[in-house]
Structure 1
Amino acid sequence: MRRLKSFLSNLARILLIVILIAFFLLPLLWLFTAPFSRAATLRISLPTKPTLNNFRVVLSNPISFRALFVNSPIIAGGAMIGVTLIASLAAYALSRIKVPGQSLIVYILILFSAVVTGTAAMVPIFLLLYSLKLIDTHLGTILVYIGGLLPTGIFLMRGFVDSVPRSYEEAAIVSGAKPLQMFRDVVIPIIRPGMMVVAVWAFVQSWGDFLIPMVLIRSPLKMPAPIAIYTFYTEGGTPVLTLVSAYSLIYMLPAIVLYLFVNWKYGFRFFGGIKR
């Protein structure tokens, strides 16, 4: 009886795992087959006569081309660089300078960061950028992303900075290193994995966001990829599945390539000769 119960329990777990895997893989399977079809539907089916014409149409459209290869890389790349650099410097300062209640300050910043990029804050953000004449600019969108992602980035980086022994910095000071030189040559090589984690996270967050660029960007040629996908909708609001799927497949590749490159180049792991 116990063996039967154990068998049924294991069988139920296997079925649950299979269902979960299918739940996540089936949409991806459709995404990798529909772009090569001549008339795609919502059903998953291998194209009988594969074609690359859908990609040609997507890339020949000036709005979608600029969105994929100019606008989105500028916005996501700017947010990634800004969040990574500022979060690293701020986390280093919070780790080395003892400020009363600094942990509470960090948690409050994280709490309010959820509001900065939310719908509740879009009206004041829009008015602020309008007064600064940054509406319909990539710079204004990048600054909003940095402001919203920075608190969480600081929280993530602080754990990496706290793991750096102070003896390393003391040795650098004795050797005559200046503060900026010490941070660049001693601290950054050790916290590099954390910086890469924050960089990829910030890139993905800004690359896939829809609300902020929809509110702040007005010109079609300045729209990022999440907004430009509506170029391939009909006037009645119906998506052209062949073009939307081809566009989506191209759209997802940069985030995957960035992750694979960072994982190959740096590795998402903690390493270094840290001894306390």
Structure 2
Amino acid sequence: MQAVLWLYAAIAFGPILLVVLGSLRPTNEILQNPIALPTSFDLSNYVRAWESASLGTYFINSVFITICSVALCVSVSVAAAFVITRRRFRGRAFLAAFFIAGLMVPAKLGLLPIYYMFQAGGLIDTHLGLILLYAASGIPFTMFVLMGFMRGLPVELEEAARLDGAHDGRIFVSIMLPLVRPALAVVTIFQFAPTWNDFFYPLILLRDTDKYTIPVGLTRFFGEYSADRGTLFAGLIIALLPLALVFAFASKQIMSGLTAGISK
């Protein structure tokens, strides 16, 4: 079994390794021997991709949009999940079903109404429009995960905190948020990846090339630098690096969140 897993890892990471090595080599060396090791540690391809090809601008745009939309989505969802699952009030079942119903309708089917709504609100060709769209489209899944996680937390924790004089805000910040940290890590990653990689909405809603995100900017980059393989590989690594870092640093929290329900 371990041999199969190592073989799969080699097949999966082999192309990525070739791209990393290619990004450190000039184009003429790549054409002569595509799979050779770099003769020197050369970062000029990255400098060219970042500055000359405007990937730096696209990268910063993607970082800003992704972080803001994920933060807004998770903040709204965790607060709403706390109220719906830990408080009793009339209509909370309907409210929970209303949020979860968003999972049944693909957001891209509503592109035309979304476009007209954004046009009326002056949100076309703005980063704010994309942030609001990504946050809203991510709330149903995030709510689904967080509500399921919060329902499994013991009520005795809240009761003990109330006996000590804690109010709802203190219970939420000091007790609930630390306990749902693994679930927060899971939903953050699951929202970060599709938001960072999304090509569809920026292509439709953005007009100014200086506001493009990495996926849309890479289409122009591929057209202009298709013959410069080293710079092309460097651009791909720049686009891939944030996702790789996020998954690497949050992998432990992700596994904790995915397996948290097993012991309950």
TM range (shorter): 0.7 to 0.9
Q: Deviations over 1:20-50 (max 9, x none)?
A: 4444233212222221221245985124534
Name the structure 1 match of 2:214. 225
The correspondence of residues 64-213 of structure 1 with structure 2, limited to 5 A, is 64-68=55-59, 70-97=60-87, 99-100=92-93, 104-112=97-105, 115-116=106-107, 118=108, 120-213=109-202
Name the structure 2 match of 1:49. 39
2:137 & 2:33 partners in 1: Cα distance? Answer: 38
CA-atom RMSD, angstroms?
3.1
**Structure 2, gaps ≥5 residues long:** none
How big is the shift at 1:129? 0.8
The structure whose RCO (Cα within 8 Å, separation 6+) is larger is: 2
Percent identity between the two aligned chains: 22
Name the structure 2 match of 1:59. 50
Contact 2:197 2:215 in 1 (8 A): yes
How big is the shift at 1:221? 1.4
Change (3 A) 1:217 1:187: same
Contact 1:79 1:142 in 2 (8 A): yes
How big is the shift at 1:222? 1.2
How big is the shift at 1:155? 0.8
Q: TM-score, normalised by structure 1?
A: 0.80
Q: How many residues align?
A: 255
Q: TM-score, normalised by structure 2?
A: 0.84
**Structure 1, gaps ≥5 residues long:** 1-9
Name the SS of the counterpart of 2:39 in structure 1: coil
Contact 1:35 1:243 in 2 (8 A): yes
Contact 2:130 2:201 in 1 (8 A): yes
Contact 1:200 1:259 in 2 (8 A): yes
Change (3 A) 1:105 1:42: farther
Of 250-259 and 130-139, deviating more is: 250-259
2:115 & 2:33 partners in 1: Cα distance? Answer: 41
Name the SS of the counterpart of 1:256 in structure 2: helix
